Every structure is written in C-alpha cells, then in structure tokens.
Structure 1
Amino acid sequence: MKRVAFLLGLMVLLASCKDQVVEKPEKLLDEGTMANVLYDLAVIEAMKSRDQGLTGNSTPQYVYKKYGIDSLQFVQNNQYYAAEIAKYKKIYDKVNERLENERKVADSLARKNGETAAPSSASAGNTPQIQ
C-alpha cells in the first residue's frame, strides 16, 4: 500500500511540475470508474500486505481486466486526473469513504463474532490524504 501511495504521490508531483496540461487519455475512465479501480487496487495491496495468499504482480492485472483496461491506460488516466487536483481529490475522497465504510462493516462483524478487530490505519493517522 505504501508503494502505491508513493507512486501516486510521485505522479502528482510530476504532473504539478509540468507547464503544459496532461493530454486527455484516448480511453478516459469516468471519475466513478477511476474510483472503483483505485479502490480495488487498494484492497488488493492491503490483502497482499496482510499475507492473504496474493502474491506476484498478476493481481493488479485482475483489476485491469475487470475494467477492460491495461496498465498503460491506468497510468494515463491516473496522470490525467492527478493533473486536475480537484477531481483527483474528489476521486480519492470516494475511495477513502468506501474503505472506511468497509472497515466499519468488518469491525462490526468481528465484534459480532467475538473477535478483536485490528486497529485501523485510518484511526492511527496512516491514511494518505490529498489536500
């Protein structure tokens, strides 16, 4: 997850340093679809970091296949939205909201089953924020 956040941050930095606007990708994903792609990638990265049996670089390929894109189209769309920071923030707000809702549901289910929930990274202040 840290790797994804670092790469996205680097893309934002590079996009903000350019004088010219990033070209619109040939296959532009709408904001909702882009949020879904980023959400799915975040979940996969979280599962990989928790050693849930996901290994290798093939897991993002599942997400790309699910949305009918490839890694290049994802990067182009990510750069495009990163160049328009207001849209990018809106997309990430959707992703963070969805992740937080899923965390609450998981915590609730864990309490019902008598399990102790792991401390969330959101409450620990480790969630990357775009400001």
Structure 2
Amino acid sequence: MKKYLIFLILILGCTSDAPENLISEEKMESIIFDIMILNSSYNYDLKIDNNLLSDELIYKKYDIDSLQFFESELYYSRNPKIHFNIYSNVKKRILKSIDSLKNIK
C-alpha cells in the first residue's frame, strides 16, 4: 500500500494546481489533529493495532478518502505558509488538550 501511495504522490507531484476536491484548511487541521492523537495512542499501547483501520475511521469521520487526503496534503506542503499555519494550529490544539488533561489531576 505504501508503495502505491509514494508512487501516487510522485505522479501528482508534477502538478501545482489545487486539486478539485481540496480539503479546507480548517478541516485538514482537524484531520491531522485526530491522526496525531491516534498515533500517540500507539505509544501507550491502547490496543489500536491496525493503522489501516484507524485511517479508515478518520476518512469516514470526515467523509473523505485516502486520495483526497494525500492530494490535499501534497498541495498544502507545496504552500509552506499555509502548511505551517495548519501544523501550528494543530500544535496549539494538542498543547491545549494536554493542559486541560493536566488540570483534571
């Protein structure tokens, strides 16, 4: 699967226009936030064993597919200011979540 995704990214890398089904910056931020939360759960052995399953859950939650996600991520990665803002906002959300969890104790 990863081979196909890399191949797809390389092929799509030849174009610089926004894809037809570009995910909005706000939605992309939420998707990446959820992906990072899921990935962090692997470090705590929360028994989420199947990466594909967790990806599919995220795609279903946001009503997107893997191609739409990767095309949008590729587009934003070619626009560093937008890409930086998305990841900056994700970082702020993660830090805010950590702070709220610390306050529970």
In which range does the TM-score fall when normalised by the shorter chain? Answer: 0.7 to 0.9
- Say whether 1:22 aligns with 2:16: yes
SS of residue matched to 1:103? helix
Aligned position for 1:72: 67
Q: Which runs of 4+ in 1 moved over 6 A?
A: none
Count how many residue pairs are aligned between Structure 1 and Structure 2. 94
Percent of aligned pairs sharing the same letter? 26
TM-score, scaled relative to structure 1 = 0.66
TM-score, scaled relative to structure 2 = 0.82
Unaligned runs of 5+ in 1: 1-10, 111-131
Unaligned runs of 5+ in 2: 1-8
CA deviations on 1:26-68 (whole Å, 9 max, x unpaired) are: 2111110000000000000001221112111201111111111
Which of the pair has more CA radius of gyration? 1
Report 1 or 2 for greater relative contact order, CA contacts < 8 Å, sequence distance ≥ 6. 2
Aligned position for 2:30: 36
Spell out the pairing of 1:6-17 with structure 2 (5 A cutoff): none
C-alpha contact (below 8 Å) 1:39/1:99 kept by paired residues? yes
- Say whether 1:85 aligns with 2:83: no
Letter in structure 1 aligned against 2:77: A
